[in-house]
Structure 1
């Protein structure tokens, strides 16, 4: 089922990629919205289709954490957008939610789901800059917020084997835990 999610993400990217080239900044803005919606739908839809309700709950929690953090920062930091439309540029909400969805898919289901999702999330960030809605640092901050929420609030679907790196002043290593 993960393969289908990856196919949907790649198909969405292929469909939305030509739009900005034709329509200018409005096209980039529309394409970023489509990419974000596609990622959120995939992050919530893939677990639901599989009956993975814990994965669905974790995806929802990750998306809410990224969106909430972004909202609070926008209220505290009043940075004017490049197009001058308002003072809610920092950080990029489209990007934070997109990266939260992508990081959740990667952490829960592995790189086969995560790699295409991260490609679409990166496209969303690029499109926000091209749409003249955000500066590069807005997008980078959004990507960091989303990635952290996805990685910290999501668990692996199959956690029978867990590798945990550790370090101390005198060395480090990897703990291996097996669940039977």
Structure 2
């Protein structure tokens, strides 16, 4: 099972990394960010479907829907002009929020083997949005937080033998680790 997850994640990483250096124009970066986002959405929905994990599909779809909806609402409330001056919908980055929601869902549901490559692709999408002159860095960072939070909060680990739970309080914070043998 881990091999299939790693192979699916690799199928996302290779096309995006091979396509990106070929074009350095803003249009090329915009196209690369579209491809990266679309591949991540496909992986977040495809990996659970291949395994018959319909709850994983529902959770991934829900996290991407919440991230996209939150991003849309913020774009309607905050009118920030894009760096290329094309419109006033720069904040936050929708490509980045949906990409990080997909990546965080894969990581939370299936572990770092699926999550690490997906998070690398999501990071690439964010960088590509800035290089495409569609967003400022803070737009991308906000999108990453929105997407990461929705993916993390709306997804349940598929294998619950090891559970990591972040916590915070007035005196500090940390991560609780629980293992079942």
TM-score (norm 2): 0.90
Give 2:21's match in structure 1, choosing from 18, 21, 31: 18
3-state DSSP class of the match of 1:162? strand
Map 1:73-112 onto structure 2 (within 5 A). Answer: 73-112=74-113
Deviations 1:104-135 (A, max 9, x none): 11111111111110111011000000000000
3-state DSSP class of the match of 2:64? helix
Between the aligned partners of 2:13 and 2:177, the Cα distance in structure 1 is 36
Unaligned segments of structure 1, at least 5 residues: none
Between the aligned partners of 2:22 and 2:139, the Cα distance in structure 1 is 23
Q: How many residues align?
A: 177
Between the aligned partners of 2:98 and 2:108, the Cα distance in structure 1 is 15
3-state DSSP class of the match of 2:84? coil
Map 1:15-164 onto structure 2 (within 5 A). Answer: 15-21=18-24, 24-164=25-165
How far does residue 7 in structure 1 lie from its aligned partner after superposition? 1.6
CA RMSD in angstroms, aligned pairs only: 2.2
How far does residue 102 in structure 1 lie from its aligned partner after superposition? 0.5
How far does residue 71 in structure 1 lie from its aligned partner after superposition? 0.2
TM-score (norm 1): 0.90
Contact persistence 2:71–2:94 (CA under 8 A): yes
